[in-house]
């Protein structure tokens, strides 16, 4: 009990932050967020038309796996042409990309090999020449004076292989075919030939085989008249500039471990691949030889 005459002590008021305190706290949180972003910048991964399709399920699983394996946010970057992705890659605007063997050998002095897919147990694939299923054509020389569909001017299987073959015959696409055009996608080559828009086409053999499995009615509209020799499968590459041994190791391990992870296995299932291997630039020697064949032709 208070003694008579003693004043009651004042009630203590709850502390309320001032406007300055609020702004200072917000700034601190923003700085903290920026620090975390700097510590873990997004992995910028490029996909060209060598990527089988634009299936959202496949992209979602790939992004999820890369985030889990690297511990970083992931930006999947797509472009219509090989040239656009290659330009982003060699300029350092991408950390890695799934490209084609043709640009890989053309810019070998600016790129590092990260990993090579394994298809049917090997890091190899072929280029196919295809025609309409009902045609009696059985060999490549019979395609003279036809309308031909190529995939991309920087595609090995969709342009370089056929062009190098013609160069060995003393021909060019312009002199051999009545007309040729680019579809900017291997599946589009199959569609063009199957629909009769083109008489023949140059296509990635891996893509044609997978289409035969997942879209048999589309592949059945065409048939293969020539298979090339086995060539290095389109690789995962990274820019040489700024690539540290530590970053390269992380990227290689990310793809090497894909088959051991449930999300990674789903990516491989959708792609019909067995896994990835580190590979060697020597895998692409035959592609380089084709580039040199075209260069000699002028």
Q: At what angle do helices 245-256 and 56-70 cross, to 10 degrees?
A: 130
Query: What is the pLDDT at residue 89?
Result: 96
What does pTM read for this prediction? 0.85
Q: Percentage of residues in the chain with pLDDT exceeding 90?
A: 78
Q: How far apart are CA 76 and CA 276, in angstroms?
A: 19
- The answer to whether residues 102 and 85 touch, using CB atoms and an 8 Å cutoff, is no
Per-residue pLDDT, 55? 75
- How confident is the model over 8-22, as pLDDT tens digits? 444 545 455 555 554
- Within 10 Å of residue 8's Cβ, how many Cβ atoms? 6
Q: Which domains does the chain have, with CATH numbers?
A: 40-123+233-282 (3.40.190.10), 124-231 (3.40.190.10)
**CA triplet 214, 80, 76: central angle to 5 degrees?**
80
CB-based contact 85:234 (threshold 8 Å): no
- Can you say whether residue 174 is alpha, beta or left, with left for phi > 0 and alpha for psi between -120 and 50 degrees? alpha
Please give the pLDDT value at position 16.
Answer: 56
Report the pLDDT value the prediction gives residue 56, as an integer from 0 to 100.
80
Average pLDDT, the chain: 88
The first and second tokens of residue 255, run together, are 């793809």
In SS3 terms, the chain reads as CCCCCCCCCCCCCCCCCCHHHHHHHHHHHHHHHHHHHHHCCCEEEEECCCCCCCCHHHHHHHHHHHHHHHCCCEEEEECCCHHHHHHHHHCCCCCEEECCHHHHHHCHHHEEEEEEEEECCECEECEEEEEECCCCCCCHHHHCCCEEEECCCCCHHHHHHHHHHHHHCCCCHHHHCCEEEECCCHHHHHHHHHHCCCCEEEEEHHHHHHHHHHCHHHHCCEEEEEECCCEECCCEEEECCCCCHHHHHHHHHHHHCHHHCHHHHHHHHHHCCCEEECCCHHHHHHHHHHHHHHHHHC
| pLDDT tens by residue, 44-65 | 999 986 555 557 888 899 999 9
> Over the stretch 105-130, which tens digit does the pLDDT of each residue have?
999 999 999 999 999 999 999 999 99
Question: d(Cα 80, Cα 182) in Å, to the nearest integer?
Answer: 12
So what's the pLDDT on residue 39? Answer: 61
The residues pairing with 132 across neighbouring beta strands, listed in sequence order, are 222
> According to the model, what pLDDT value does residue 31 have?
47
Among the ranges given (19-28, 167-176, 281-290), the one the predictor scored with the smallest mean pLDDT: 19-28
Cβ-Cβ contacts under 8 Å for 29 (sequence gap 6 or more): none
Q: Is the pLDDT confidence value at 272 over 70?
A: yes
Residue 49 has a pLDDT of 66
Instruction: Tell me the pLDDT band of 141, cut-offs 50, 70 and 90.
Output: very high
Instruction: Among 198-202, 241-245, 276-280, name the one with the lowest average pLDDT.
Output: 241-245
């Amino acid at each position: 009990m208070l003694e008579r005459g003693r004043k009651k002590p004042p009630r203590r008021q709850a502390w309320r932050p001032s406007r300055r305190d609020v702004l200072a706290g917000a700034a601190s949180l923003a700085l903290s967020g920026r620090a975390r972003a700097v510590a873990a910048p997004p992995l910028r991964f490029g996909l060209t038309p060598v990527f089988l399709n634009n299936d959202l399920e496949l992209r979602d699983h790939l992004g999820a796996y890369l985030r889990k394996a690297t511990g970083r946010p992931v930006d999947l970057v797509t472009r219509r042409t090989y040239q656009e992705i290659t330009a982003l890659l060699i300029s350092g605007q991408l950390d890695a990309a799934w490209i084609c063997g043709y640009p890989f050998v053309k810019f070998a002095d600016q790129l590092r090999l990260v990993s090579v897919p394994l298809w049917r147990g090997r890091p190899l694939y072929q280029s196919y020449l295809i025609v309409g299923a009902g045609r009696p054509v059985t060999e490549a020389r019979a395609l003279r004076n036809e309308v031909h569909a190529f995939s991309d001017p920087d595609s090995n299987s969709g342009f370089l292989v056929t062009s190098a073959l013609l160069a060995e015959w003393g021909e060019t696409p312009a002199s051999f075919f009545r007309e040729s055009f680019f579809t900017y996608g291997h599946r589009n080559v199959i569609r063009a030939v199957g629909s009769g828009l083109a008489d023949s086409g140059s296509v990635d053999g891996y893509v044609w085989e997978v289409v035969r499995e997942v879209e048999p009615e589309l592949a059945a509209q065409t048939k293969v008249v020539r298979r090339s020799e086995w060539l290095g499968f389109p690789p995962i590459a990274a820019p040489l500039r700024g690539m540290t041994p530590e970053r390269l190791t992380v990227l290689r391990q990310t793809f090497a471990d894909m088959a051991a992870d449930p999300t990674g296995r789903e990516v491989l299932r959708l792609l019909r691949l067995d896994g990835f291997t580190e590979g060697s630039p020597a895998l692409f020697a035959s592609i380089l030889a084709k580039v040199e064949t075209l260069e000699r032709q002028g």
